[in-house]
Amino acid sequence: MRAMSDTPAPLARHDAYPDDLIRTILRSTKSIALVGASSNPARPSWIVLKYLKERGYRMVAVNPGLAGGTILDVPVVASLKDLAEPVDMVEIFRNSEAAGPITDEALALPWKPKVIWMQLSVRNDAAAERAEAAGVQVVMNRCPKIEYGRLSGEIGWQGINSRILSSKKPVLSTKGVQKLTIAPRGPGRG
């Protein structure tokens, strides 16, 4: 679960991320290519795809075995170079070693994603350095669903420690009663 890729100098700046940085990324991102998508509802990648789609992100699934089909009505392509249009974020749902070549593939595209995000337990510091050298922001070893749930306050409904204190009420989604959003909290909102 916690296997990290071997690199000479671990990037300490990737051991922890400020909440504001994660919040800014998740707010500014509109489209996400999820590499390693699964069609099995018991798999974390399926659950994350569904959650992010419900939160309004335009999703594309990447899985060569399922290319041409759909998962949860999301189109599936074989690889990043088959994407019909650019995406803001590439999310890597593969192991830490595989994250290296996938990062390189993303960096070789005619357009660049703004963010490369490696899933919880996935970390490849060498790939992160290459992406950052190309001007792409990197988040590693984090789950976007957990982070969204933490920042919105939803995750507390399951007794999980969000580590966030606030005297401002969380903002309800307009799409349902039991959904909170990461929109700015404060008077007159929500």
Partner 1 sequence: MTEQNPGFSTLAVHAGAAPDAATGARATPIYQTTSFVFDDVDHAASLFGLQAFGNIYSRIGNPTCAVLEERVAALEGGTAALAVASGHAAEFLVFHTILQPGDEFIASRKLYGGSINQFNHSYKNFDWHVVWADGEDPASFEKAITPKTKAIFIESIANPGGLIMDIAGIAAVAHKAGIPLIVDNTMATPYLIRPFEHGADVVVHSATKFLGGHGNSIGGLIVDGGRFDWMKSGRYPMLSQPRPEYGGMVLGETFGDFAFAIACRVLGLRDLGPALSPFNAFMIITGIETLPLRMQKHSDNALAVAKHLQAHPAVEWVSYPGLPGDKYHDLAKRYSPKGAGAVFTFGLKGGYEAGVKFVSNLKLLSHLANIGDTRSLVIHPASTTHRQLTPEQLRSAGAGPEVVRLSIGIEDAADIIADIDEALASI
Residues that bind partner 1 (CB under 8 A): 1-2, 18-20, 40-42, 44, 47, 50-51, 54, 120-121, 143, 146, 149, 153-172, 175-180, 190
How far is it, in rounded angstroms, from Cα 125 to Cα 131? 10
Min separation Cβ 50 and partner 1, Å: 6
User: What phi and psi, each to the nearest 5 degrees, are found at residue 67?
Assistant: -60, 140
Task: Report the run of H or E that residue 51 belongs to, with start and end.
Answer: helix 44-54
The token pair that represents 10 in the structure block: 């671990």
Min separation Cβ 62 and partner 1, Å: 20
Question: Do the Cβ atoms of 184 and 175 come closer than 8 Å?
Answer: no
- For partner 1, the closer CB: 108 or 160: 160
- For partner 1, the closer CB: 85 or 167: 167
Min separation Cβ 185 and partner 1, Å: 8
- For partner 1, the closer CB: 77 or 145: 145
- For partner 1, the closer CB: 59 or 171: 171
Spatial CB neighbours of 71, under 8 Å, sequence gap ≥ 6: 37, 38, 39, 46, 49, 61, 63
